[in-house]
Structure 1
Amino acid sequence: MVSLPVVVAVSCLLGAAAAGLLSRFAGVRLSDGLLVVAPVVGVLGVGVAAALGAVPVDPALAAALALVLVASFGVVRALDRPRGRWFRRLRARLLFGVPWGSLVSILGVLAFYLFVQGGADGLYSPLTLPFTSWSYTYPLGVLTAPFAHSGYGHLYGNLVGTVVLAPLAEYAFSHFPTERGDGSFSSLRANPYVRAFVLFPLGVALVGLATSVFAWGPVIGFSGVVFAFAAFALVRYPLAVVVALTVRSAVSTLYSALTDPVVVTSAGASYGGPWWAGVAVQGHFLGLTLGVLLGVLVLAKRDRGPSALRLFAGTVLFAASLSLWAWWWYRGPASYVLYRAVGVLFVLAVGWVVATAVRAGRSREPLGWGTDISRRQAGVLLVVVPLAVMAGVAAPINYTTTAGSGLPADAVDVRDYQVAYAETVPNQRVSAIDVSLFGESTSVNASGVIVYSDRRALWTEAVSAGRLAFTGSSTVRVGGIGWEATVTAQRVGWIAQGGGAAYAVYLKPGDGDWRHVYSSEPAMADLTLAGKNVSIVIRDGVFYVALTQGGAVVGTTPIPRSGSSTTLAGIRFRHTNRALVAVFDGTRVTVANEEAYS
């Protein structure tokens, strides 16, 4: 095998030499040759090396894709001949043509995930519980939640959105004064360095904090700020935001193609709720509202701006594309209800409000209707009112604390955390304020691995009972700044023939010992042997075969180890091939099977 970087470097150098020859003898611009010919020759070199088996195919495809992207830019540049026009436009509003504030924000969020949440050690399983905004009584969570993420996929989605939308918002904000008479260094606020490296990142941080403070209940993630980026840009460039959504999808596809050039998969079982049950509609709407308010205050007074039609269309397309219509609620431990029609009506109303607020915000004429306020003030109020409503609702919800754990006495203690397994217990967070609406209630029961911390006002179903039944085991990470610990949950069970399942759950703190914490009800097989019913029962974490007749217990015996057998009341039970087989009077019948997990 040959090093792929060496193949790419040598091929591109040969391409650069060819570009030099074309420039000298064919009149081709050297810059065009370097941007087109060099990467094309690089692709040919990588292709030949991959065909000969000198380099692995997957990395070769990724390298070829990167080179083709460079060549594509070169072709467009050669055909368009911008003569610096593109860069001049960027430099007119951005310091050196670079969205520095966006870069600072992206690096800050990425650094928090890698080094504070421990993503550098476990990219797909970061520490999340201490960095969630559980309550106003837990300030650390409120301060860190907007910049933390629940996993790599969550981080990736928000960073892609930030990469695409934040520069557009920063371009609208501008590092240079846009009002007549203002000089770039006439004041600290007008200083482009201050605007790029201080004001824009500070605005991002404050918006993030607001999305945490005014969210309804626990939140984690940067998505509220991403919506604010889009909404801020919507005020000035509504259709550009819609185009940016397409770019967002393209960037995601390109990244996936670079990191996973070839994907092999097969059909299989999976576990999870509907995708829309994870959409934080209120948090996203909060970010959108904050962005529109800032846009009206900062941008609307600069020029006439887009028409109401563009504002309405841009807002509706943006909100619909990012699922702001996904109004959902719980209907049980693993059931949800989606109010799709209500959500679509809401999206249309948001479009109307944004268009009205922005257009009104550009006029200082009196509103009329017997009032003394201006249209601009009315436009601001149109956005402030929903913010005030959200803040008013958020306060009582986020001031709630957990009155108690409601957990079994055998919970595992890890510093200020308690980790336990329980089924059908009231969800202390969701049920904090019991309200019924549209036939649904906030009173919801929880089942699964539950984590509780009085100090952090934390009570959450970290792993649902259904997920644990599907996977068989799961690890919960608890901790705080500078420390973390793990608690592993494992489920073991038997499925009675024609009946239900009997299962036990065990917890293991870090390097500690396994602890039996839960036993289900017995599971009776749908068969009789010698007039006796056969059941699987659990005692102190040990599985037994029980024989009953006429409601009375005839006898019990532990299920033998795999490959062994035992006899009870003249019936021989053998544990073989993950099945419990009964042998009686020359007849063999499967009584139960071990649970299988994915």
Structure 2
Amino acid sequence: MPSLETVQWVLLTVVLPIITVATVLLSVAVVSRLHRADARWGDVARSRLVMGVPWGSLIVIALVWCVYLFVQDGITAFDDPVTIPYRAYSYFYPLGMLTASFSHAGPNHILGNLAAAVVVAPIAEYAWGHYPDERGAESSDSWRTDPWFRALLLFPLVVVAITIITSLFALGPVIGFSGVVFAFAAFALVHYPIVTIVGVLGVQGVLLTLYRALRNPIGIYVAESSPPSAPSWAGIAIQGHALGFFIGLVLGIALLRRRGHRPDALRIWIAILIFGFAQGLWQIYWFGGGNVFYLFQGPGVLIVTVLALVVTVAITATERPLVPERISRRFTRVRGPPSESAVARPLELARNSDDRSETSTDATALTAPLERISELAATPNSRDSSRLSSIGQRQAAFTLVLVVLAVLAGMAIPVNFFVLDDANVSSDAAVEIEDYTIQYAEDVEYELVSPVRVGPLSDAVALDASGVIVTSEERQLWAEVVPARQLEFSSEESIAVGGPGWRETVHVERIGWEPVGNDSVYQVEIWAEGDDPQLAHESNGSRADVRIDDQNVTMSSVDGEFTLEVESIETGEVETTTVPESNESTTAGGLAFEREDDTIYAAADGTRIAIANEE
């Protein structure tokens, strides 16, 4: 007979998820029968999609999953995929450039991106359509307009091309599909603004909540401290998101113009503004020294607001002149008085004569030649006025959108031409695996950033790195993969390096003591899987903020051993001993040192006091 624990496990992990899924499906069925619409949901989907299915979106999502499982080796360790070789470090590292936007940093990363893709990609594919014009027999006459070709090949190929473009023109060593998700969202917003914004703000959260509830019906959470970390927005590839968004905008606007559609301006403006704020496109930031981050939220909000208006004009405005004719004429008068041509006065007399003509047919016959002569004889100022008034509102706004896209892409080009001249880092020890070098170092210059002194950013000049650093000249790779403060909190970390078809794990461990009232004294060891640990770093000594029997106690790390130095304040004499093992004791300088669990005590003349605690 099964135990009570087994029955509970089956109920929670099998029965409850089945009931939840059945309830959701039943709800959809009931609501679909109650909802009185002009057309059934299936008919609406089939009107633009083959069999009503977004085949292209499914293929792209499956491709991203395959990269995570089989290229990044997520199938072996789902929570710990290989990420280091699949970032866009440099144009001189093609593998990273081609795979970065298909790869992900972990399970939460890929689930978040694909949940968003499940929402916005089908909307974008529906807007594009498997049937290029009206559904009918003629739609399959050309292979370019064949619905199955557009669904199974053309749409996925376009998405793959956009994915690679977001890698090539993203700023820094990015990883993730989010740039393409933003492109999907922008393309969908242009065509179906309200549906898209509801999907992004609501449906995506519903999908993630359902997944987490099905995967872990009852969660147990314990309040605990967390390591010092950068703000959440400091880990977002904001330039990559904006780049993808504007790529989607340009493609969406181009398709609208080709089809001659002009959507509602208010809906477009509201949707783009809400999306920009909700998805953090205003989070413009930069790095400073000493774990300082600059968030330009005021300028960011202003930029998003202005661009929402510009994009709305580019989508919905007419081709009325950007500069009215009246203002254009005033502008030309400011530039200088018009210089009349030699035929100006005769032409004016001829027009007046036509106006007094009794025969309208004769007047009409003479008007066209006179206007042509007037145009040919126009002065430069009048021609400038004509050019100014010929620039349409929609054309000007769309040109500005293209300029923003060019700026977003162009700023990444100099950075992505990065070449790593010297991968060596000052370190006592390093692990070498194939072309990788894994080492621990502190206060070394961050090789991938060369900021410029500008106003309030004058402190953000020399960015230093401390922690586990992975380098590879072959891959143009220099990365701080585990910050020193994170290792201080966790004590041990594992780093996966590798490439297509292989992976190796390197372990790093920090052991240390914290003298009372002062900084920690620690050692860092590093080793590859299956090898012996080797000492990679030793910190400086630190004195306990206590005095016993007129003596100071300093803890140090020497050649892999922790030592206690006892210094007499009166004579300056120093005696040294090693830190005793657990529940053992030792003496130095007349002081007795006892180690009880994670604490070291010093005793003399009946006085006993704690001097250090293990990290």
TM-score tier after normalising by the smaller chain length: 0.7 to 0.9
Choose 465-474 or 408-417, whichever is displaced more: 408-417
The offset of 1:367, in angstroms, is: 6.2
CA offset at residue 118 of structure 1? 0.7
8 A Cα contact 1:522 1:538, kept in partner: yes
- 1:255 and 2:211 matched: yes
Distance in 1 separating the partners of 2:117 and 2:27 = 24
Q: Aligned partners of 1:91 and 1:412: how far apart in 2?
A: 57
Q: Are 1:151 and 2:106 an aligned pair?
A: yes
| TM-score with structure 1 setting the length | 0.87
Aligned equivalents of 1:416, 1:255: Cα separation in 2 = 39
- 2:436 pairs with 1:436: no
- 1:275-316 deviation line (CA, Å, top 9, x unaligned): 111121111000000000111112333243322221111111
1:210-229 superposed matches below 5 A: 210-229=165-184
Secondary structure at 1:588 match in 2: strand
Structure 2: gaps of 5 or more residues: 329-386
Aligned partner of 2:481 in structure 1 is 462
Q: Which of 8, 14, 30 in structure 2 is aligned with 1:59?
A: 14
Match of 1:580 in 2: 600
Change (3 A) 1:53 1:205: closer
Q: 1:126 to 1:199 in 2, by over 3 A?
A: same
Q: What do residues 418-468 of structure 1 show as CA deviations (whole Å, max 9, x unaligned)?
A: 11111111111123x545353252531111111111111111110001100
3-state SS in 1 of match to 2:258: coil
Q: In the aligned structure 1, how far is the partner of 2:553 from the partner of 2:426?
A: 30
- Do the aligned partners of 1:235 and 1:300 also contact (CA within 8 Å) in 2? no
**Distance in 2 of aligned mates of 1:53 and 1:557:** 56
Give the match for residue 86 of structure 1: 41
Tell me the SS of whatever aligns to 1:56. Answer: helix
* Distance across 2 between alignment mates of 1:50 and 1:129: 41
Equivalent residue number for residue 476 of structure 1: 495
- Structure-2 residue corresponding to 1:383: 401
Seen in structure 2, the aligned counterparts of structure 1 residues 348 and 488 have a Cα distance that, compared at 3 Å, is same
Asked whether the equivalents of residues 146 and 209 of structure 1 are also in contact (C-alpha less than 8 Å), the reply is yes
Equivalent residues of 2:289, 2:461 under 8 A apart: no
TM-score (norm 2): 0.84
Measured at CA, do residues 81 and 388 of structure 1 come closer, stay the same or move farther in structure 2, by a change above 3 Å?
closer
Q: What percent identity do the matched residue pairs reach?
A: 41
Cα gap change, 1:485/1:207 in structure 2, threshold over 3 Å: closer, same or farther? Answer: same
Residue 504 (structure 1) shift:
0.8
**Matched residue SS, 2:547:** strand
The code of the aligned residue for 1:259 comes to R
- 1:507 paired to 2:518: no
Return the alpha-carbon distance in structure 2 between the equivalents of residues 374 and 190 of structure 1.
Answer: 33
Q: 1:200 to 1:333 in 2, by over 3 A?
A: farther
Q: Residue 276 and residue 471 in structure 1: after superposition, are their counterparts in 2 closer, same or farther (change >3 A)?
A: same
Contact map agreement 1:178 1:302 (CA 8 A) in 2: no
The 5 A counterparts of 1:220-369 are 220-245=175-200, 246-271=202-227, 272-360=229-317
SS of corresponding position for 1:93: coil
How far the C-alpha of 1:552 sits from its partner, in A, is 4.3
Letter aligned with residue 359 of structure 1: T
Equivalent residue in structure 1 for 2:507, among 488, 498, 510: 488
Q: Does structure 2 retain, via aligned residues, the 8 Å contact 1:58–1:262?
A: no
Answering whether residue 587 of structure 2 is matched by residue 567 of structure 1, we say yes
CA-to-partner distance for each residue in 1:93-146, whole Å, 9 max, x for gaps? 001000000000000000100010011111111111110000111111000001
Sort the Cα spacing of 1:53 and 1:483 in 2 relative to 1 into closer, same or farther, 3 A. closer
Task: Find 2:30's aligned residue among 62, 69, 75.
Answer: 75
d(CA) in 2 for partners of 1:183, 1:103: 26
Give the letter for the 2:222 counterpart: S
CA contact (8 A) 1:50 1:60 kept: no
Question: Highest relative contact order (Cα 8 Å, sep 6+), 1 or 2?
Answer: 2
Q: 1:132 to 1:249 in 2, by over 3 A?
A: same
1:329/1:314 CA distance change after superposition, 3 Å? same
Residue by residue over 1:55-98, the C-alpha shift from the partner in whole angstroms, topping out at 9 and shown as x without a partner, is 43343322221111121112112323669721111001001000
Name the SS for the 1:537 alignment partner: strand
Distance in 2 between residues matched to 1:444 and 1:313, nearest whole Å: 40
- 2:263, 2:315 within 8 Å by CA — same for their partners in 1? no
Partner of 1:404: 422
d(CA) in 2 for partners of 1:261, 1:83: 39
Change in 2 beyond 3 A, CA 1:386/1:54: closer
Whether the aligned pair in 2 keeps the contact of 1:533 and 1:549 (CA below 8 Å) is yes
**3-state SS, counterpart of residue 600 of structure 2:** strand
Decide which moves more: 413-422 or 333-342: 333-342
Q: Confirm whether residue 545 of structure 1 aligns to residue 532 of structure 2.
A: no
Q: Is the 8 A contact 1:134 1:458 kept in 2?
A: yes
1:183-240 Cα distance to aligned partner (Å, 9 max, x none): 3112222111111111111111111111111111211100000000000111111111
Partner SS for 2:267: helix
Alignment of 1:186-225 (within 5 A): 186-225=141-180
Out of 55, 58, 75, the residue aligned to residue 120 of structure 1 is 75
Indicate the structure with greater strand content: 1
State how far apart, in whole Å, the 2-side matches of 1:589 and 1:322 are.
54
- Amino acid in the other structure paired with 1:196: A
Stretches of structure 1 that go unaligned for 5 or more consecutive residues are 4-48
**What is the alpha-carbon distance in structure 2 between the residues aligned to residue 52 and residue 407 of structure 1?**
56
Residue type of the partner of 2:266? L
Partners of 1:562 and 1:50 lie apart in 2 by: 39
Q: Are the aligned partners of 1:477 and 1:484 in contact in 2 as well (CA < 8 Å)?
A: yes
Residue 401 and residue 80 in structure 1: after superposition, are their counterparts in 2 closer, same or farther (change >3 A)? same
Q: Which residue of 1 aligns with 2:471?
A: 452
What are the superposed Cα offsets for residues 334-355 of structure 1, whole Å, 9 maximum, x if unpaired?
A: 3322222122112112212221
SS state at 1:389 partner: helix
The answer to whether the 8 Å contact 1:179/1:302 transfers is no
**Deviations for 1:473-529, whole angstroms, at most 9, x for unmatched residues?**
111111111221111111000010122210111101121110111111111101122
**Residue aligned with 2:42, SS:** helix
Question: 1: distance between equivalents of 2:51 and 2:2?
Answer: 39
Query: Residues 275, 554 of structure 1: CA spacing in aligned structure 2 closer, same or farther, 3 A cutoff?
Result: same
**2:564 and 2:578 in contact (8 A); partners too:** yes
User: May I ask how many residue pairs the two structures share in their alignment?
Assistant: 547
Tell me the residue number matched to 1:105.
Answer: 60
Query: Contact 1:571–1:583 (CA<8 Å) still a contact in 2?
Result: yes
Q: Name the CA distance, whole Å, in 2 between partners of 1:351 and 1:107.
A: 33
Once residues 303 and 486 of structure 1 are traced to their aligned partners in structure 2, the CA distance between those partners, rounded to angstroms, is: 56
* CA-CA distance at 1:264 after TM superposition: 2.0
